[in-house]
Amino acid sequence: MAPKKKEEPKPAAAAPAPKPPEPERPKTPEFDPATVTLEFTPEQIEDFKDSFQLFDRTPANEMKITYAQCGDLIRALGQNPTNTEIMNVLGKPKPEDMQTKMLDFDQFLPMLQHICKAKDRGTYEDFVEGLRVFDKEGNGTVMGAELRHVLATLGEKMNEGEVEQLMQNQEDANGCINYEAFVKYIMAT
């Protein structure tokens, strides 16, 4: 009798197309604005209102923005969430809703608060650590081409135009980027 070939749970890497696994999606609970306590000062809220108003494109200045604008506004206010996190606070809307559904300032605030409280914001060291992964020669530089490839294919992929804009004038004559300088540049908004 042939030995029963036990179906071992084969690791994904052994599968025909070796693909790096997507990062574990943490089981994010459904976002419930009611559970968020606002900790902003009145001053801060006034500031946010100003910015909110700048994004408001409704004809009658109704103080509403589209779902699609929400992420941009949160980022403009100094946070740096991932797209996934944004979709989460928006309640995981359908793609077609992004341009049509609106939210007002009161709905926006808990979303912003939630993002503000998120840990793992990313420090200078985190960045440099991350980039060091691509530093093949351990000399403080990464290949521009490789970085472009990574940014366009991994994680929350960037498109060609975005990559180009980010990397504009960053590479030296050999196509290398000094990543510590690069990180300083990105963080210096």
Partner 1 sequence: MGCGVTKSNQFHKNSGKAVTSIKAAILIQRWYRQYVARTEMRRKYTWHIFQSIEYSGEQAQIKLYNFLGYLMDNFTPTSNERNLISHIFRDNDVCRDTEWERFFCYKKIEVPEIYSGPHLTFPLTVEQAVGLVEAFRNKKQLHSRYVLQLLLETLKQIRMLPNINRISTCQSKEITICGDLHGQLEDLLLIFYKNDMPSMEKPYVFNGDFVDRGSDSIEILLILFSFLLVYPSEVHLNRGNHEDHIVNLRYGFTKEVLTKYKMHGKRILKLLQEIFSWLPLATVIDQKVLVLHGGISDTTDLSVLARVDRHSYVSALRPPKKRNQSSATSSIDIDMEGDILSHIKLTQRRTSLTYPKPLARDIFQNRSLQDFSGLIKGNMVDDVEIHRKRPSISIQGIIKPENETTQAASSESVNSENVNDEWKQILDLLWSDPMNQNGCVPNEVRGGGCYWGPDVTEDFLNRHNLQLIIRSHECKQDGYEFCHNRKVLTLFSASNYYDVGSNRGAYVKLGPDLVPYLIQYQASSMIRELTVRQSVGRTERSALKVLREQLFAHKSDLACAFKMVDRKNTGYVNVHNWASAVESVMHLGLPWRMLRYQLVTSKTSDGMINYHEWFNDLAIKGTNTDHINQSLLETLYRHRSTLETIFRIVDTDNSGFITMEDFRQTWKLLSVYLKMEITDDAISDLAVTIDRNQDGSIDIDEFMEAFRLTDKKSRLERGRSMFMGTATDLTKLEGDLNI
Binding site for partner 1 (CB under 8 A): 8, 10-14, 20-23, 43, 46-47, 49-51, 53-55, 57-61, 71-76, 78-83, 122, 126-127, 129-131, 133-134, 150-151, 154-158, 162, 165-166, 168-169, 186-187, 189
Measured at the alpha carbon of residue 70, what is the angle toward residues 60 and 104, in degrees to the nearest 5? 40
Rounded to the nearest whole angstrom, what is the least distance from the CB of residue 34 to partner 1 in the complex?
Answer: 27
Residue 59: exposed, middle, or buried by beta-carbon count in 10 A (0-12, 13-18, 19+)?
A: exposed
Rounded to the nearest whole angstrom, what is the least distance from the CB of residue 100 to partner 1 in the complex?
Answer: 15
The nearer residue to partner 1, 49 or 101, going by C-beta atoms, is 49
- The Cα–Cα gap between 189 and 184 comes to 9
Rounded to the nearest whole angstrom, what is the least distance from the CB of residue 110 to partner 1 in the complex?
Answer: 20
| Residue whose structure tokens are 């996934």 | 84
CB atoms within 10 A of CB 76: 12
The nearer residue to partner 1, 32 or 80, going by C-beta atoms, is 80
- The Cα–Cα gap between 45 and 43 comes to 5
The nearer residue to partner 1, 32 or 129, going by C-beta atoms, is 129
